[in-house]
Amino acid sequence: MHTLKELAGFIDAKLVGNGGLEIAGIASVAAANGNQLSYVISKKYTKDLKSTQAGAVILHSDLLSDCPTNALVVADVHLAFAQISHYFKPKTTHFHGIHPSAKIGNSKIAENCVIGENVTIGDGCEIGANSTISAGVVIGNNTNFQPNVVVLENCKIGNNVTVAAGAVIGSEGFGNAKDSKGNWHSIAHLGSVEIGDNVSIGANTTIDRGTLEDTQIHSGVRLDNLIHIAHNVIIGENTAIAANTGIAGSTTLGKRCMIGGMVGIVGHLNICDDVIVNAKSTVDKDIKSAGNYTGIMPLMPHKQWQNIGIWLTKLDKITRYLNIKLKNLKD
């Protein structure tokens, strides 16, 4: 634990409130309790700030009047959060073999696997050769890992899950803040990954852990090979995603969606249930209505894209026709 006064010193913040308060962790402004620190980047989150139960909040001076609790006032909230997050990141301990504290049911563990401290593995599982399961991971029953799977600290995996070779679950998310000199400062990702039941994860797919809360893959999801799912993404039940798709941080996909290959989905979006996104599309805005979408150009309903596509194929003929008309007018 650190006192609020110590934390203020770490990030050169102005302390407003009880400097002796001990802080045990970091959480979102909506979820934090009295022994946790939170942060608010902009006025967009004023409503959550006013009702927060956090012990203290990192914020800019223009939000101080809306803060009902202790505050650490800084000029750059994002940078301050990046710096302070590392003080709460658990230390990783490396271990070879199977740790004596691991609880392994009636399951098969192949050669050269690493099973960390306080890992729990249910019955009927098969863990492929050279796989690594780090401290605190919980795995349900009848789950199958092919060789060279990596599951990092404190991730939770349900029952009847299949994970293909080379997949990485719980890797550090891609979060960074830039200082006034243009230098990048990484953000420690303190959340985890939670995977439901009957999920299939393809080869060399990567699922990043959440920043403060968990990345969530709900039951029945199908993930192809070479997919990247960033921090804090939520994927609804029975959604299927094809290869080479990338989903940026804090985006939520609904239930029963089908995402084609090489789709790019930007961050902080909400995609409703029963959406189809065709291959190579770029999704750059919320999708609020179920349907079939294509977005190589700006995303639009698929039927509209089909009409535009017809005109695009005729542009050469239209241009020649207009040039002939223009020439006749000049003559």
CA dihedral 266, 267, 269, 270 (to 10 degrees): 100
Closest CA to 237 of 319, 129, 158: 158
Candidate list 2, 99, 231, 268, residue with the active-site label: 231
In the DSSP assignment, the letter for residue 12 is T
Closest CA to 168 of 154, 149, 185, 155: 149
Q: With the C-alpha atoms ordered 86, 90, 91, 96, is the resulting torsion angle positive or negative?
A: negative
DSSP lists the bridge partners of residue 57 as 38, 71
Cβ–Cβ < 8 Å for 106, 124: yes
Neighbours of 289 (CB within 10 A): 9
Helix (H) or strand (E) holding 73: strand 70-73
CA distance 300 to 277: 10
Burial of 58 (0-12, 13-18, 19+ CB in 10 A): buried
**DSSP character string of 101-123:** T-EE-S-EE-TT-EE-TT-EE-T
Query: Which distant-in-sequence residues (6+ apart) come within 8 Å of 320 by Cβ?
Result: none
**Any alpha helices (H) in the chain, and if so which ranges?**
4-11, 46-50, 77-85, 302-313, 315-330
Known catalytic membership, residue 99: no
CA distance 94 to 48: 39
Which residues belong to the active site? Answer: 231
